[in-house]
Structure 1
Amino acid sequence: MIAFRERLRACRDHLLSHCAPLPAPYPAYVFFFSATDGQQRAHVVHAGGPDFTTAWQRGVELLQQWIDTQEPGALWLRVDWVEGARAVSWERLTHQLALTKRNYFRYGIAFDEDFECAFTEQELNANAMLYGGSGIEHAVVNRGNFGIYHRTRFGPAPMPELPPAGQVYLLSTRGVFCQPDGVPHAIEGAGLNAGRRVVDRLDSERVLALVRSGSSFLAQQVRDNGAFVYGHFPCFDRRIPTYNTLRHASSVYAMLEAWELTRDDALRDAIEVAIEHVAKELVRQYTLPDGQEVAFLIDTADEIKLGGNAVCLLAMVKYCELMDSDRWLPLLEKLALGIASLQDPQTGRFYHVLHAGDLSLKQASRIIYYDGEAAFGLLRLYALTRDGRWLAVVEKAFGYFIANEHWRAHDHWLSYCVNELTRWRPLEVYFRFGLLNVADHLDFVLERKTTFPTLLELMLAAEQMLRRLRAMPTMRHLLDDFDTAKFYRALEHRAHYLLNGFFWPEMAMYFKKPAAINGSFFIRHQAFRVRIDDVEHYLSGFVAYHRFLLQTPIVESVVPMSKQDLSRVTIQ
């Protein structure tokens, strides 16, 4: 561990080579010092001065006063400097907040031109000072949270009137972060990447580190009984009190994908407990009127969801493949038959939600995710067992998907399942569906401001299909009107943009319990929510991106179709 003084010196050296003085009437230099032991919200002090040395020494003295009151230990250290300031009226600020998605306001705020009362963007967002609740989609001043954090930062000093009589000042900051290892990390300044470290290159090694981190977090959320700690709202360390068994099973699937890369023993132990919980506590078996034995995942409100059985298939098939085990095959059969029983034999559509008590229909259609999940789950089971029943159900369902233009949903699960389907049935109609599922969605992938992790999954599943398509001379014409260059540009952009949803320590340190969320993934516009399925989708995306980075130009072979197979195809 590098001594704290040495880390301060490393931060000072970084600032000396990067920061420049502010113009009058502002202080020439203003530094924010943040420190935490990882167990409590960062303590923040700031100081300004007419020159670098004066401002730095004042800030270090204030920080040292706090450190002297703490137990000895390793501290995370971050230092930010103000690189720009702009005076605005309160009316202008509130107007700007109203135009900004909640938690996406990326400036600090000062209430006087000397910056005596000032907060960084990280302080504002981590303390929900600009968050009006889930019912308000834009940023808004939360007076109560402002008052609470002002007392934390400034003690008994009077809080500024809201609205203030004069102007306020929007602050652009940039910084450097140094953990006990002594390595300084430059912190991004303005823009959507603000607040986290600069990452020049997202290579396979760094992606693997993200997978290790996210999967380790999920493993730590598995309790002794196999259930997860479902999620956190980290601003005030509030646990999410609800539960969703579908997301439990799908999170186990993502953990298995990660374990395939990491082979981490603690992760495997957590998987074993969590998947046993699915089989023994969350799945219920039934006998249908025709005597068929089926099984269904039971969710909250005593519901059976089509997608619930699907993700159980995904998790248990993946387990059987990776562990070379047949332990779940009897249950997999019953879960698959449960899905098949939800298919309309005439149209091929799936019914989505049943009452668990009597298997009566509760909701014919709830969300298109379930359709893609069901088809993908059955295809993965087909890959394991080569039982033609499951492929037949999927092809019948795809007739319905195509007729009803399901590609317009641009759903990531549909991307997964059409990629898998074209491995076994490399037909033009299926390839066209897969291309349509992404072709006119690329601008959205490039421009979406939220991290939206399932977009990376969508793109990478489609990329696998594209690889095979390019290797098939009789199918290459399908790409004539497809913007391949834009596709790969969008894929790379989305992979890099997901770094903004990772809880780097330099971001986690401002929340109530940094160590509890450090190394996880979050959804910024949902109050920085960290929920198992949020982490799951980031994790699956990065696992697939790691595979993409390592793949050779040689594409996987397509399973050839027999003449008998071809004669069964009726979709036009």
Structure 2
Amino acid sequence: MSIQLIEKKFQVVKELLSELKSISVSPMLILSIGHSTERSQVLEFHGKNYQSVWSDFLSYYKRKHLEDVPYFRIDIVTEEKRVTFQNLKELITSIKRNNYGEFNFRVEGKKKRSFLMEELAGNAILKPSKEHKVGRNLPQLSIDEQNYRGYLKRKYGIRNGKVAELENVPLFLFKTKAFYFEKDLVLPLVDYGNGNRVRAVSVQNLKAMTDLVIAQGSDYLTRQLTETGQFIYGYFPCYDQRIKGYNSVRHFSSLYALAEAADYTQDKKVWQLLTKCMQWGIRNLTSEVSGYLLVKEPLSTSVEYKLGAQATAILAIAKYSEVTGDRQFDPILKRLIVAVTDNFVTNENRTIHVLNEQLGIKEEFRIVYYDGEILFALLRAYGIFKEAKIMRICEDLMNRFIADGYEKFHDHWLSYATNELLIYKEKKQYYQFGLDNALGNIRFIEKRDTAYPTMLELLVAASKMVEKLATSEFKSSLFERPEEFLEVKNRIDLVMKKRVQHEITTGVMFPEFAQFFKQPQTIRYGFFARHDRFRMRIDDAEHFLSGLINYRLHEPEEVRSTTPS
């Protein structure tokens, strides 16, 4: 490729460099390049001015024949500030969540070194204290000696580097303008805060970006299915470390999400995989106990039976039947329902969450998710069988949850269930419950800084419910004035759309971020929990996909802004 063609390809970078001529920063271009099965290499180009930096970059690009490198990113330094090592340590310890660092730093002098925030994250250079518990206390981050030394060796060939050496060298915090090059596209990267720098996700391109994430994310979840029909449970991507263990709830709920994705994308090639996954789950995760078919959770020395596992198996089979039209698992579905009604629901319509091996009560209550899951699952089963006894159970459970004030839990499964129940039975108290379940927590949902896809799921179901309420006879009894109803509807829809954009920009492993981890191809377009070591479990993919798919299937018209309540 000629220099002229290379300059044309990187015209946007050249223009930025020209704009920075009068800026008082050390001229530096940072190039991050890599292949699918390796962590990207990060190179720095320094010079007395940006003209020499640009010339060195062009020469290197042509000499190394980089036109076909799949992962390609350029950062240009636009701002910098000198700091002491003590300043740097204080900045690191002030970070409120693990992996929320949003700064780059560099070392000036004979041995120039620089570290993008993505390098710090992807190589786990900043690590929490041993006392850190995710979601419970501050991480108390510091530079990890071993990981810092290892990265210096890989990047610069420096052996036995020490963190203490940073005490006596000129240090700078710096900002960059970054571009990711994907085939013929030039994607300016946007800093969304807390270390999230990815391609632009805006109101204008939200539909297209959501569809991209659904399509690519569905492919990611499909790739997690092994030949046997079991999922790869997940990864900690810094080290390409598999997450140990397995979980019956997450197997079936992920199968449910994969069926949703196959339905949305109309990818019939996935149907055979769904069948294999269902067969594996039934064969390996269920047991015959006293004539009942129960979904089991193998523990180290025993087995337990969870209401949530029973629920997600019912939900998965119902969705599988809906999507594929294959009714081969109907007998299994009916037996799972009988096992629930006979063993997990009392005469007072209260649920029992966990049974022991002898079907005795192990825990009456473990987590509220199980209650919403079973109600939603039974309603989906009702949609298949249309049996009055299933609906009676559903109504009895819903009335119990209302009586026990379950709206205080603000649970996404209960939001799904409420909306589903209203398809068949419209009652004022169901609408009121659904409204309280969503609105009682909406300010927290709007402000939550982490990716939290279940919040999106809750709001999508609530938005569907409110759309139904718009033409219901109960609207006037729930809202004194039409303006009050519109205010609530707009509030839910606005926060829902805000969460869509937030989930995509904070929890999707876009290629421009995946390239900094050990195995980019394994994790690209997967879904992660940044504050939990970038954890990528199948249930993370499940909740992201379900939320985004249901949003796109619903997607209300544009709404006007309202004052936060």
Tell me the TM-score normalised to structure 1 length.
0.88
Structure 1 residues 279 and 113: alpha-carbon distance in aligned structure 2, compared to 1, 3 A threshold: same
Deviates more, 1:478-487 or 1:246-255: 478-487
1:96 matched to 2:107? The reply is: no
What does residue range 416-427 of structure 1 map to in structure 2 within 5 Å? 416-427=416-427
Residues 145-168 of structure 1: CA deviation (Å, up to 9, x unaligned)? 111111111113773643513563
Q: 2:351 is matched by which residue type in structure 1?
A: F
Cα distance in 2 for partners of 1:469, 1:239 equals 45
What does residue range 264-343 of structure 1 map to in structure 2 within 5 Å? 264-287=267-290, 293-301=291-299, 302-343=303-344
1:4 CA drift (Å): 10
Q: 1:380 is matched by which residue type in structure 2?
A: R
1:106 matched to 2:108? The reply is: no
In structure 1, what is the equivalent of residue 143 of structure 2? 141
Tell me the TM-score normalised to structure 2 length.
0.89
Structure 1 residues 7 and 270: alpha-carbon distance in aligned structure 2, compared to 1, 3 A threshold: farther
1:487 matched to 2:483? The reply is: no
1:398 CA drift (Å): 2.1
Residues 313-354 of structure 1: CA deviation (Å, up to 9, x unaligned)? 111011111222321211111111122124443432211111
Counterpart pick for 1:512 among 514, 518, 534? 518
Cα distance in 2 for partners of 1:440, 1:7 equals 57
What does residue range 420-499 of structure 1 map to in structure 2 within 5 Å? 420-479=420-479, 480=484, 483-499=488-504
1:303 CA drift (Å): 1.8
In structure 1, what is the equivalent of residue 33 of structure 2? 35
Deviates more, 1:185-194 or 1:121-130: 185-194
Cα distance in 1 for partners of 2:94, 2:434 equals 36
Cα distance in 2 for partners of 1:467, 1:134 equals 48
What does residue range 157-556 of structure 1 map to in structure 2 within 5 Å? 159=161, 161-162=163-164, 164-165=167-168, 168-179=171-182, 181-189=183-191, 191-192=193-194, 194-200=196-202, 201-287=204-290, 293-301=291-299, 302-355=303-356, 357-479=357-479, 480=484, 483-500=488-505, 501-549=507-555
- Contact between 2:100 and 2:195, CA under 8 Å: does it hold in 1? no
Residue aligned with 2:167, SS:
coil
Cα distance in 1 for partners of 2:109, 2:498 equals 38
Residue aligned with 2:288, SS:
strand
1:175 CA drift (Å): 0.8
Deviates more, 1:212-221 or 1:88-97: 88-97
Deviates more, 1:192-201 or 1:368-377: 192-201
Cα distance in 2 for partners of 1:550, 1:470 equals 13
Cα distance in 2 for partners of 1:25, 1:324 equals 66
Cα distance in 2 for partners of 1:424, 1:551 equals 25
Residue aligned with 2:13, SS:
helix
Structure 1 residues 133 and 160: alpha-carbon distance in aligned structure 2, compared to 1, 3 A threshold: closer
Residues 269-320 of structure 1: CA deviation (Å, up to 9, x unaligned)? 2212101111222122233xxxxx4321112312211010111111101111
Residue aligned with 2:512, SS:
helix
1:31 CA drift (Å): 1.0
Structure 1 residues 8 and 397: alpha-carbon distance in aligned structure 2, compared to 1, 3 A threshold: farther
Q: 1:150 is matched by which residue type in structure 2?
A: L
Residue aligned with 1:171, SS:
strand
Residues 23-47 of structure 1: CA deviation (Å, up to 9, x unaligned)? 88741x2111011111100011012
Cα distance in 2 for partners of 1:515, 1:338 equals 42
Q: 2:547 is matched by which residue type in structure 1?
A: G
Percent identity (aligned)? 26
Cα distance in 1 for partners of 2:241, 2:397 equals 41
- Contact between 1:243 and 1:300, CA under 8 Å: does it hold in 2? no
Q: 1:44 is matched by which residue type in structure 2?
A: V
- Contact between 2:317 and 2:333, CA under 8 Å: does it hold in 1? yes
In structure 1, what is the equivalent of residue 135 of structure 2? none
In structure 2, what is the equivalent of residue 566 of structure 1? none
Deviates more, 1:220-229 or 1:343-352: 343-352
Structure 1 residues 540 and 404: alpha-carbon distance in aligned structure 2, compared to 1, 3 A threshold: same
- Contact between 1:7 and 1:182, CA under 8 Å: does it hold in 2? no
Cα distance in 2 for partners of 1:408, 1:115 equals 57
Cα distance in 2 for partners of 1:87, 1:487 equals 45
Structure 1 residues 203 and 197: alpha-carbon distance in aligned structure 2, compared to 1, 3 A threshold: closer
Deviates more, 1:338-347 or 1:46-55: 338-347
Residue aligned with 2:197, SS:
coil
1:476 CA drift (Å): 3.7
Cα distance in 1 for partners of 2:346, 2:557 equals 40
Residues 143-197 of structure 1: CA deviation (Å, up to 9, x unaligned)? 2111111111111377364351356322222211113x22111111362474211
Q: 1:313 is matched by which residue type in structure 2?
A: I
1:529 CA drift (Å): 1.5
Residue aligned with 1:187, SS:
strand
Q: 1:33 is matched by which residue type in structure 2?
A: L
Cα distance in 1 for partners of 2:474, 2:404 equals 27
Residue aligned with 2:229, SS:
coil
Residue aligned with 1:86, SS:
strand
Deviates more, 1:269-278 or 1:459-468: 269-278
Corresponding pairs, count: 540
Cα distance in 1 for partners of 2:310, 2:130 equals 30
Counterpart pick for 2:115 among 103, 119, 137? 119
In structure 1, what is the equivalent of residue 20 of structure 2? 21
Structure 1 residues 552 and 103: alpha-carbon distance in aligned structure 2, compared to 1, 3 A threshold: closer
- Contact between 2:32 and 2:40, CA under 8 Å: does it hold in 1? yes
- Contact between 1:298 and 1:304, CA under 8 Å: does it hold in 2? yes
1:140 CA drift (Å): 2.7
Structure 1 residues 61 and 131: alpha-carbon distance in aligned structure 2, compared to 1, 3 A threshold: farther
Residue aligned with 1:83, SS:
strand
Cα distance in 1 for partners of 2:22, 2:306 equals 61
Structure 1 residues 474 and 132: alpha-carbon distance in aligned structure 2, compared to 1, 3 A threshold: closer
Q: 2:36 is matched by which residue type in structure 1?
A: G
1:437 CA drift (Å): 0.6
- Contact between 1:256 and 1:271, CA under 8 Å: does it hold in 2? yes
Deviates more, 1:334-343 or 1:360-369: 334-343
Q: 1:360 is matched by which residue type in structure 2?
A: G
Residue aligned with 1:366, SS:
coil
Cα distance in 1 for partners of 2:469, 2:25 equals 60
- Contact between 2:84 and 2:167, CA under 8 Å: does it hold in 1? no
Residues 513-544 of structure 1: CA deviation (Å, up to 9, x unaligned)? 11111121111111112111111111101111
What does residue range 71-90 of structure 1 map to in structure 2 within 5 Å? 74-90=69-85
Cα distance in 1 for partners of 2:502, 2:468 equals 27
Residue aligned with 2:472, SS:
coil
Residue aligned with 2:452, SS:
coil
Q: 1:373 is matched by which residue type in structure 2?
A: E
- Contact between 2:350 and 2:400, CA under 8 Å: does it hold in 1? yes
